[in-house]
A = this chain, B = another copy of it.
Amino acid sequence: VNVTILGAGAWGTALALVLHENGHTITLWDVDGQHLTELERARRNVRYLPDVELPRAWTIEPDWPRAVKASDCLVLAVPSEGFRQVAARLHDTRALLVSVTKGLEYETGLTMSRILAKCMNGAAIAALSGPSFALEVARSIPTAIVAASADEATGHAVQRLFHRPAFRVYRSTDVLGVELGGALKNIMAIAAGVGDGLGFGDNSKAALVTRAISEMRRLGVARGAQPETFAGLSGLGDLALTCFSRLSRNRELGERLGRGEKIAAIMASEHRLAEGYPTARAAHRLARQMGVSTQIIDETHAILYAGKDVRQALLDLLARESKAED
């Protein structure tokens, strides 16, 4: 199968490795032509996934028409803020479309596969999400993930494409629940990281994770997702991973904030985007519009966008917890 990966970040590159090992023909495209030139020259993704050598067989293709033309499957691995632009260029494709981007669009509150559905007319669309650091996937460390599609046949097709002994793909038809789990947990990981930076320890992180999964479920169910999806790999599994693992970018962003760094300075120093940053803004807006109570999202949003003192935000979170459950 001819697969084109749109977006040569860490996750796009790691998934290209999985697909390559499954015998598929890989084309890699990115909006940043200079990044592709570097990647072609080094045969490594020096910027985002430097440890792994890239197979010679891959086509590194900066030209959009050539990248997408002969493709049977397009994997969208671009940041959420550039997602609609890329999706809009795909309107006439007949390929299977797989979104692997975790985020929400600010203006609409839509998940990535819904943006795709709005841009296309009846294409086969799926989302892939679950607890999966790119670095571990690239090293063939055992990983389990969910392929979600409203259409069962599409879900099966994505499962067949990606499934490997060390990359186990399960299926779900609750696309919205799977995508919301992946998107919202990045916000929670920022809050967990703030706790780390402030020295709050693992007991309080475990308490935060417990509250976070209810908050995610509450917002998700209000939006139409299935509650049980949040107890699965793409909900609880991904949340626990992102909040507890050292490898998480979103947790790390929170940790730096907790230690006293300013968000503007962090953003200026990082070329890797923590998706929880834009998602916090979009989820906060969505929750307000829907009238859903989201305490962790609110406090994280206040830290990121309203300059709220990190310690005060976490103490307010504890106080509000107490009010809610005492």
Residues of A within 8 A of B (CB): 130-133, 136-137, 139, 141-144, 168, 170, 199-207, 209-210, 213-214, 231-233, 236-238, 240-241, 243-245, 247, 318, 321-322, 325-326
Q: Are A241 and B168 in contact (CB under 8 A)?
A: no
Which applies to chain A's interface (DSSP): helix, strand, loop or mixed?
Answer: helix
Q: Which of A202, A233, A241 has the most CB of B within 10 A?
A: A202
Give the top 10 A-B pairs by smallest Cβ distance, nearest first.
A131-B206, A244-B244, A206-B241, A210-B237, A144-B207, A141-B201, A143-B203, A142-B204, A202-B245, A206-B237
Contacts of A321 in B (CB 8 A): 144, 168
Contact, CB under 8 Å: B206 / A238: yes
Which residues of the other chain, B, contact A318 by a CB distance below 8 angstroms? Answer: 142, 168
Complex formed: what's the CA distance from A104 to B321 in Å? Answer: 31
A136 to B200: give the CA distance in the assembly, Å.
Answer: 9
Number of copies of this chain that the complex holds = 2
Q: Which residues of chain B have C-beta atoms less than 8 A from A213's C-beta?
A: 231, 236
On whether the beta carbons of A131 and B237 are closer than 8 Å, the reply is no
- State the CA gap A213–B228 with chains docked (Å): 12
Known: A231-B213, A318-B142, A326-B170. A203 touches B244 (CB 8 A): no
In the complex, which residue of chain B has the Cβ closest to the Cβ of A159?
B326
Output the residue of A204, A210, A232 with the most chain B CB within 10 A. Answer: A210
A130 to B325, CA, bound (A): 15
> Are B143 and A204 touching (Cβ within 8 A)?
yes
Q: How far is the CA of A318 from the CA of B170 in the complex (A)?
A: 13
- Kindly provide the distance from the CB of A305 to the nearest chain B CB, expressed in whole angstroms: 25
CB-CB under 8 A from A233, the residues of chain B are: 206-207, 210
In the complex, besides A132-B203, A210-B236, 12 extra interface pairs with C-beta distance below 8 angstroms are A131-B206, A131-B207, A131-B210, A133-B203, A136-B201, A141-B199, A142-B204, A144-B207, A168-B321, A206-B233, A210-B231, A210-B233
